[in-house]
Structure 1
Amino acid sequence: MIKPFFHTLANGLRVVCVEMPHLHAAELAIYVKVGGRNDPPGREGLSHFLEHILFRGTADYTSSLEIETAFEAVGGAPNAATDAESTCYYSRVHPAHVRQGMDIFASMLLRPLLEGIEVEQRIITEEAREDLNEQGDEINPDTIASRLLWPRHPLGMPTIGSLESIAAIGRTDLEAHLQRYYVPSATVVVVAGPVCNHEVFVAAGEVFNGWQGSAPPATRLVNRRNTAPQIRFVRDSDSQMNLQLAFLGFPRGDRRFMAVRLLRRILAGGGSSRLHLRLREELGIIYSVEGAIGAYDETGCLTFDLSTAPNNLHQAVEVSLGEIGRIASEPVTAAELERVRHSYIFDLEYSRDSAYEMGVRYGWGELIGIKRSIEEDQEEARRITVDVLQEAARDLFAPQNLNLVVVGPNKMGMKKTIRELVARYAEGFNSYPGPAGQFTR
C-alpha cells in the first residue's frame, strides 16, 4: 500500500515521504520552484546554467567527480533537469542511506563553489547549438511554437537560453539567482521507496533546518491570447519537414484538464490513435506522431509533432487538421472513450511500481500546489463523458489557439498552400453547429 506523508520544517521547507514497502530502492529528489520563466532579461538560460554549475563542486565535495563518487557510495547516480518553472535534482539511493543522499544534495544547494563557469559555458553552448541550423536560425519546433504561444514572455524563450545570453552569464548572476530562488519556502524534498516517514522527516530536519532565505519574487504571468491562427516557416536543410501543431490550452487547475489528457490519447496516444491510424497506417506518410501536454499556473498547450517528406506536407497538414476538427465537431463514440479511459487508468495503476513517478506525483505536485492521489485522477477520468470531451475539444481546438510550425526544406508555393489549409480549417471550425459564440470566444 502506497502512503504519502507530508511535513513542513520550521524554515518552510516541505518534506514528502511516499512509503512504498514493496520496493528495494528509494528515489530522492529535491524540487526548487525556479525555471526558465524566472530568468531575467538578457540572462535567459540562467536557471539551467545554475543547475549545471552546482555539479561542479561544493565546499564538501570539491569536484564533479567527488559528487559522483559520493552518490555511488550510497547506491546512486545523480542527475538534474530544468524546465520552464522548476528545477529538480534527483538520484536513486539505497534505503539505508537516504540521509547521506540528502547531505550531498544539501551541500550542492547550500555550499556550492560556483566554479568552472567558462567550461560549463562551452558545454551549454554546444548543447544550444543543436537547436540551430547552419545560418544560426532556431529549428527546434518546441521553441519556435513557444514563441508563438507566449510572445514577449519568458515562457516563450528556450529554457537553455540563447548563445548571447549564455555567454553573458557570470558568477554574480549565478550568486544572485541562487540567493533569490534557492530558498526553503520554494523547495520540496521528496523520498519515495521502502522508507519510514518518521525517519525521513527527522533526517531532513537534521540536514536542512539551518537553511534560511526570504520568499522568492512573484512570477510574471501570461496575460494575452492570440486572436487568429499563427504560422511560422523556418528553412532547414533536413530531408524531412518537421511539423508541430501547438494549441494554446488550459492551466493545469482548469476543470477541462482531464479531458485534454484523454483528447491527447485519442489523437496521438499510440497505435490505435486517430492521427497514427490515418497518417501512418492508411497513408504511410509518417513514421510516428507524438502528442504532449504543457501546463502552468495560468496557461497551457497541447502539441502534436510529426515529420514527413516535403511532398507529403500538404497532405499531412490537411489530414491532421481534419482529424482535429472532426473531434470538435463530432462526438467520439462511447467505445472509443471507454478504451482510452481504461488505458489511462491502467497507466496510473502501473505508476505504483515506480518510485520515480510517485516522487513526481507527490513531490512535484506539492511544489506546484496540486496534490492528487492516483485514485482521485482515476475517479475524475471515470466522470468524463462524451459531451464533456467534445466541449473541451471545441474550446481547445478553436482556430485562434492554433500555432503551426514547419521546419525543413521549404519549396515554392508551400507556404501559400499551408496558409490556405489553415484558413479553411478556421472557416470550417467556426461553422460547426453549437451554442452561439462557442468557438470564437
Structure 2
Amino acid sequence: MLLKHMSLIAGVLATVLVSGCTVTAERDAMEKSQVVVKSPADDRDYRFVELENGLKALLISDPDTDKAAAAVDVKVGSFQDPDNRLGLAHFLEHMLFLGNEKYPETDGYFEYIRANGGSANAYTADTRTNYFFDINSDKLRPALDQLAQFFVSPTLDPTYVDRERNAVDSEYKLHANEDGWRLMTAQNATSNPAHPRSRFNIGSLETLSNEDGKSLWEDLKTFYDNYYV
C-alpha cells in the first residue's frame, strides 16, 4: 500500500486474513505495545506490523479457511465533508472503484474479485471509510495490488462524475425509509447543531450538484488530495 504522506492518514489500518500465513518467532520479539491480545479459545495466529511508510497492518492466519480477505480503513469520513458538499466523502468512496493508472478498466476490480470466488464493497462512516474484499486464497496478492491502487493512482475520471452522483442519490432514496437509516437521521437532527454529526451525511443530487460540469470534480480532487494522499 504505497500511500504517501502518511501523517495525513495515520489512522489507516489494513487487516488481512491470510490462509496458511506463517507466523514466526519474530512476533515474540515485538514490543509489548504491538502484541495482539486474543481469546484463549481463538486458535488463529495474529501479527501486527507497521510498514516503512507508516501503514499499520494486522495479519491474521487461519490455515483451515478456504478464503482470504483484506480491508483498508482510512481515517476520514463524513465529518470531513465541506459544509457546501455534504456526502463528498461517500461520493469519493464510489469514485475510487472506477479505475486507476495501473488497472484502468472501470469495473475491472469487481470483475476480478467476482471471477475468483469473492465479493467487495466499502462504507463511509463518521470518521472513517473502509474498503474490503474476500477472495479465493491463491488470488489474495493480485487483489491486494488492485486495492492498493485506489490510494496510489486513482483515475477519478470526470466522465463518471454524474453517473456516480446519481448512484449516491439512488442509494440515499433506496434506504431512506429503512428503520436503521431513519434512526440515524433522527440522531443527526437531534445532535448539537455546531457538531458535524448534525449534518446530512449520505449525499444527494442537491448536495452533490454539478451544474457547471466541473465544480464537483474539482471539490472531489481537492478532498482526495487533502485526506488520502
- 1:181 aligns to 2:227 (yes or no): yes
TM-score relative to the length of structure 1: 0.38
Task: Answer whether contact 1:59 1:113 (CA < 8 A) is retained.
Answer: yes
Task: Answer whether contact 1:28 1:92 (CA < 8 A) is retained.
Answer: yes
TM-score relative to the length of structure 2: 0.70
Please list the CA deviations of residues 58-80 of structure 1 after superposition, one character each: whole Å capped at 9, or x if unmatched. Answer: 22333332222222344322211
User: Which letter does structure 2 place at the counterpart of 1:140?
Assistant: R
User: Which letter does structure 2 place at the counterpart of 1:158?
Assistant: F
In structure 1, what is the equivalent of residue 59 of structure 2?
17
Please list the CA deviations of residues 60-108 of structure 1 after superposition, one character each: whole Å capped at 9, or x if unmatched. Answer: 3333322222223443222111111111111112222221111110122
User: Which letter does structure 2 place at the counterpart of 1:42?
Assistant: N
Please report how far the alpha carbon of residue 111 of structure 1 lies from its aligned counterpart in structure 2 after TM superposition: 1.5
Computing the radius of gyration from Cα coordinates, the structure with the larger value is 1
**Aligned positions of 1:106-125 closer than 5 A:** 106-115=148-157, 116-125=160-169
Query: Given the superposition, is the C-alpha separation of residues 99 and 172 from structure 1 closer, same or farther in structure 2, using an over 3 Å criterion?
Result: same
Distance (Å, rounded) in 2 between the aligned partners of 1:65 and 1:130: 22
**Aligned positions of 1:427-438 closer than 5 A:** none
Please report how far the alpha carbon of residue 163 of structure 1 lies from its aligned counterpart in structure 2 after TM superposition: 4.1
CA RMSD of aligned residues (A): 2.2
Distance (Å, rounded) in 1 between the aligned partners of 2:204 and 2:195: 15
Please list the CA deviations of residues 359-395 of structure 1 after superposition, one character each: whole Å capped at 9, or x if unmatched. Answer: xxxxxxxxxxxxxxxxxxxxxxxxxxxxxxxxxxxxx
Unpaired stretches in structure 1, ≥5 consecutive residues: 134-138, 184-441
Task: Answer whether contact 2:86 2:203 (CA < 8 A) is retained.
Answer: yes
- 1:53 aligns to 2:53 (yes or no): no
Task: Answer whether contact 1:82 1:159 (CA < 8 A) is retained.
Answer: no
Please report how far the alpha carbon of residue 117 of structure 1 lies from its aligned counterpart in structure 2 after TM superposition: 0.4
Distance (Å, rounded) in 2 between the aligned partners of 1:57 and 1:66: 7
Distance (Å, rounded) in 2 between the aligned partners of 1:121 and 1:62: 20
Report how many residues are paired.
178
More helix by share: 1
Distance (Å, rounded) in 1 between the aligned partners of 2:175 and 2:136: 37
User: Which letter does structure 1 place at the counterpart of 2:81?
Assistant: D
Distance (Å, rounded) in 2 between the aligned partners of 1:21 and 1:156: 45
User: Which letter does structure 1 place at the counterpart of 2:88?
Assistant: L
SS of the equivalent of 2:208 reads helix
Query: Given the superposition, is the C-alpha separation of residues 178 and 148 from structure 1 closer, same or farther in structure 2, using an over 3 Å criterion?
Result: same
- 1:64 aligns to 2:110 (yes or no): no
Identity across matched positions, percent: 31
Distance (Å, rounded) in 2 between the aligned partners of 1:27 and 1:56: 21
Query: Given the superposition, is the C-alpha separation of residues 142 and 60 from structure 1 closer, same or farther in structure 2, using an over 3 Å criterion?
Result: same
If asked which structure has higher relative contact order (CA below 8 Å, sep 6+), I would say: 2
In structure 1, what is the equivalent of residue 131 of structure 2?
89
In structure 2, what is the equivalent of residue 36 of structure 1?
78
Please report how far the alpha carbon of residue 130 of structure 1 lies from its aligned counterpart in structure 2 after TM superposition: 4.1
Distance (Å, rounded) in 2 between the aligned partners of 1:94 and 1:126: 31
Query: Given the superposition, is the C-alpha separation of residues 181 and 2 from structure 1 closer, same or farther in structure 2, using an over 3 Å criterion?
Result: same
In structure 2, what is the equivalent of residue 129 of structure 1?
173
Query: Given the superposition, is the C-alpha separation of residues 150 and 22 from structure 1 closer, same or farther in structure 2, using an over 3 Å criterion?
Result: farther
Task: Answer whether contact 2:165 2:205 (CA < 8 A) is retained.
Answer: no
Query: Given the superposition, is the C-alpha separation of residues 141 and 25 from structure 1 closer, same or farther in structure 2, using an over 3 Å criterion?
Result: same
Task: Answer whether contact 1:28 1:101 (CA < 8 A) is retained.
Answer: no
Q: Mean Cα displacement is larger for which, 118-127 or 155-164?
A: 155-164
